[in-house]
Structure 1
Amino acid sequence: MATGTLLATAACSGGSDSPGTASGTASTVAERPPAAQSTTPSSTPGGELTKAGARSALITESDLEDDWNPVKDPSTWRDSLLLGDVDAAKFLTGKSDAQDCKRLMDSLYDETLLGSPSGASAATGFEQGDSRLYYQVAAYEKADLDQSMEWLKSLPSACDEFTLTGGDHGDRTVQVVERTLPGESEARQGLTVSVKGTSDGDPVTLTLDVAAVQVGANAITVTNGGLDGADHDSTDAAVSQGTPRLTEVLAGGTPKPTPSGAG
């Protein structure tokens, strides 16, 4: 994405794993079967998350605020502003914190915030102007997920502000700030990550909301933002609408589709 088009330009500069544009008019992944078509639960109470259950737990544009539109394949989204090496010399605690910050930037680039799922997963994406929202539901190894959530909680302190070097955009200043997510019962962590650098010689700031909600050995992850900033209300809506959907699926139910305009 350049100044006028967020991740689209960056996708072109992201290399061979960043094919073309990701926009479309519908998301086949995001579609959920109506409750009337389901004769058995998506997953049994206490059982593992199934592929059908993960799809059923996804939100749609009706769950979000404003005018978000679904895209066909959000897995192709990449932003080269996130690529580079962390300047470890400026860290008081040295290489350990620098490695954590590098892991954060890499995971934001390839949408592996909590690591690779060990079980079923489904993802969908939406765009609004130059901003994009990526939403994933996935099952993980419980111990690995616990560690990933603790790692996320450490980042506002460990990473705070650092310099990203190299790549196609030179030196960039990155700030990591904690933000509160709606809800209280499940383990959750929110961040806002801003990357200040240049694109095509012009100064730009990429701002991303990052959210993770853990439900047992399963989790929701949200990445939302762009060069025009992050819409915090949409991030909160995704968490507020998506968490009970996943909880219902894990209890053996099939959430009803959200009525249009009820986000």
Structure 2
Amino acid sequence: MDRPSRPARVLASALATGALLVTAACAGDTGPPEAAPASPAAKQSPSSPSLSSLSSSSQSPSPSSPSASASRALTTNGAKAALITEADIEDAWTQVNNASSWRDKLLAGKVDVASFLNGKTSSQDCQKLLDGLYSDTLLGRPVGASALTGFTQGDARLLYQVGDYGKGSLEKSLDWMKSLSDTCDQFTVTGSDGGKRTVQVVSSPLPAVGDGRQGLTLTVQGTSNGEPVTLKLDVGAVRVGSSGILVTNGGPSGVDHDSTETAVQQGTQRLRQVLAGKTPSPTPTTLD
């Protein structure tokens, strides 16, 4: 997939951000995600390091993965320390303090069961995908400490989450995500306004980091204020022991895949350091 040109650090147009992204009152971004409603139909920096050995496998561990990666449980302070910063991702990303309230309206709606050959089963997976993205619970609810933060660049948003979800639960989540490019490769959604949207899901490569990983790219096409609009979103998840990170990145102008990969790579390194009882460096770690 061709990498889109990176937008300059400018304010997004009132139409794009106002129509697509609903931001609630400013909330802290260092705690766990807010509780999600029953369903979105009911809820809705220095240069980056070089990236190598890309992989979308949710099972293959990184060759450099230490066996003691999960030797410590993630604490509240550790989760906060494991969050990436502006220095960890390239370009003109600006850290914000209201990421926990971000919501993408194009992700809210009811999946059309009739668009699936096997009906209900596949539509439930696709509904779960949209619901999880909208409510910041794609990896489930943390069973331990968690934290999140967010960054903006033009009309793009990058949300970064880290938490203790339990090893078994994370492995199931990654396996499920891996199946979505087949189960939910293309489907339709009806929004609360009755408008139809088309969603496409494909697998996308991630750096070979952590004990398991999976990447996806979503393209959502619909209308806003009577005008055609497209939301493109990268999703990257990585398991390190019983802890996991989740990155979502994109917007109406497209998605910068390099920023997704850098966030995943640097975030995994920070999480490993925290779980090893170390304090992550304030400057990005250079990795081969």
Tell me, yes or no, whether TM beats 0.5. yes
Task: Quote the offset at 1:79 in angstroms.
Answer: 1.4
1:85 aligns with 2:110: yes
Cα distance in 1 for partners of 2:251, 2:26 equals 15
- Alignment CA distance shift 1:67-1:5 (3 Å): farther
Q: Percent identity?
A: 55
Question: Which structure 1 residue ranges, 5 or more long, are not aligned?
Answer: 13-17, 31-43
1 CA distance for matches of 2:17 and 2:129? Answer: 18
Q: Deviations over 1:35-87 (max 9, x none)?
A: xxxxxxxxx97121001111111100111111000111101101111111111
Confirm or deny: 8 A CA contact 1:5 1:130 kept in the other structure: no
CA distance in 1, matches of 2:210, 2:97: 33
CA displacement at 1:142 relative to structure 2: 2.2
The 3-state SS of whatever aligns with 2:103 is: coil
Q: Tell me the equivalent position of 1:174.
A: 199
Give 1:104's match in structure 2, choosing from 129, 136, 150.
Answer: 129
**For residue 164 of structure 1, what is the amino acid of its counterpart?**
V
Cα gap change, 1:3/1:105 in structure 2, threshold over 3 Å: closer, same or farther?
farther
Residue 84 of structure 2, aligned match among 47, 51, 59: 59
Distance in 2 (CA, whole Å) between partners of 1:19 and 1:216 is 33
SS of residue in 2 equivalent to 1:138? strand
User: Do the aligned partners of 2:189 and 2:198 also contact (CA within 8 Å) in 1?
Assistant: yes
8 Å CA contact 2:19, 2:225 repeated in 1: no
CA gap of 1:61–1:8, structure 2 versus 1, over 3 A, is farther
Report the Cα offset of residue 204 of structure 1.
Answer: 0.2
Report the aligned-residue RMSD.
2.4
TM-score (norm 2): 0.77
The answer as to whether partners of 1:80 and 1:168 remain within 8 angstroms in 2 is no
Counterpart-to-counterpart distance in 2, 1:187 and 1:61:
25
Give the partner amino acid of 2:225: D
- State how far apart, in whole Å, the 1-side matches of 2:109 and 2:211 are: 33
Q: Deviation per CA, 1:125-183, whole angstroms, max 9, x where unpaired?
A: 00000000000110012222221111111100000000001323610000001000012
**Aligned partner of 2:24 among 6, 12, 19:** 19
CA distance in structure 2 between the aligned counterparts of 1:179 and 1:147, rounded to whole angstroms: 19
> Deviation at 1:240?
1.2
CA contact (8 A) 2:112 2:190 kept: yes
| Aligned pair partner of 1:233 in 258, 268, 282 | 258
Q: Distance in 2 between matches of 1:191 and 1:113?
A: 12
When normalised by structure 1's length, the TM-score is 0.84
Identify which of 131, 144, 156 aligns with 2:181: 156
Q: 1:197 corresponds to which residue? A: 222
**2:19 alignment counterpart:** 9
Change (3 A) 1:197 1:75: same
**Secondary structure of 1:193's partner?**
strand
Cα deviation for residue 252 of structure 1 reads 1.2
Specify the alignment match of 1:74 in structure 2. Answer: 99
8 A contact 2:155–2:253 mirrored in 1: yes
2:207 aligns to what SS in structure 1? coil
Cα distance, 1:185–1:21 mapped onto 2, change above 3 Å? closer
